[in-house]
Structure 1
């Protein structure tokens, strides 16, 4: 796999500060890399103007002009009506038709999910897709899914989310046996909704039983006790957005405190190194690039407000998923269990 050419299709028009942040992110990612083709999708004139004005230096890339741009507030009907010539749709068509390829976008999440399913279909045996991302914890990071692909889920869905999370984990932490937890309001077996209890039973009846931690309360999400945290999409999305808001609140308040007085500024100068470590630990940019697991191709969602560095991290995740063929791993586990 390492020696085969990898193709990454990138929607240059999605999210804030596009296309600059996307193009700069490509530049950061592509430096010192070989055997990778980048296909940039979007308004060709705007893309070329940005490359020149911002002095962004890219190599081994091509641009595909796309006349339609899906907006963040577009409904499902508008997405389906305008999809044909959109940068998201064209990018996913590339993944469908080219081996060893993947797609990255900071655009409309609903559009990425809808068009990923339409273009790529589902992996045989997987019933629902799940958005999976990295979450920082005391030890390093955990995986969490589903973060919003589904409003509701049944026990079989959550079992499959756990299985796909396990396959993800084998790529980024191959030497560590993971602990899998289901997010619930309590740790006791009789706590929470019935579908969560049935999900736990399905995991216990499978090969994942040896990795099963049990139910995990939300206050333990960053404890590092679980490496894979499973949730229905509605709950997972609320948790994710709450965490993002708290991160902004904490960092914003710390900044305000340290400029409040002369003594506080001295304290900041003493703590500056440790504060940078803490800031980097909770910086969402380092964890950018959520994958839509379950679809039959690599589809990555970067945060709409991502920086160029964060976008480069999302491309890096896409590259790793292609190189390590995550969908082959999922198919293999589905067929063997």
Structure 2
């Protein structure tokens, strides 16, 4: 029996992701930026293989963000003391070096502008397509909810629990990168819950919100709702939610009460009680509750839809698909 639900990522080639770099490599320096195309491999696995091939510690290989495994993706990685001509000859399992250019320093987590997606969605009925187009028009106007996708939380959504144990000193990990990732899953859980319980529309702000300026990324406390609401409707600013940490910008009033209550419910110490384990920095940040979807194009190609669009760094294509189509089937599974 054919499923009535749309299906995506049926093949890796039907989920393409191209990283949009924050800046181009300069052509000079002690590091080499290599642009990798990979398929059915994680970013971590490729980074480890690169490190092994050129005989450097795995921690010295940098990359801006993790890319999907069940996909065809491109991204930049940095390797110290690697001749670009040698880089182009490296043989990687499930990946290929497309470019290699020198740069003065290592590529750090978060140093990307965003990602461009080229997806195929199968088994979409005319009614579902009509609904998706109407929802996309609304999202272009108001923005996409910037919640974290399910993949952020790991198998059976266990990563937030692991992050909580690390944060509270109940568990330790020698691998600091992995420890930070687990804590970030807990931060993501808190943000998603705050977004879920926020009653205000995405294109509005509340008194006491920490708002983010779209163009500059600057943060400020909302004190004049009437003035700032007009700016929010124009997408000049957006409300933010918490990525908890010791240096996070704090909201005020009812917004602060709501965020603190949710953190307490999820076992996260609030305010000065938040003391990260030794050796782990958890500065925190504010994440906008919505983002713009860049140049979305949804076209019918025979029996499926092709969807091309871009999202800022840290935002999830799967979230956008859920907003447009509701529940979907991922991959070849029947349920």
Assess same fold via TM > 0.5.
Answer: no
Higher helix share: 1
Tell me the TM-score normalized by structure 2: 0.31
Greater RCO structure (CA 8 Å; 6+ sep): 1
Q: Which has the higher strand share?
A: 2
What is the TM-score normalised by the length of structure 1?
0.31
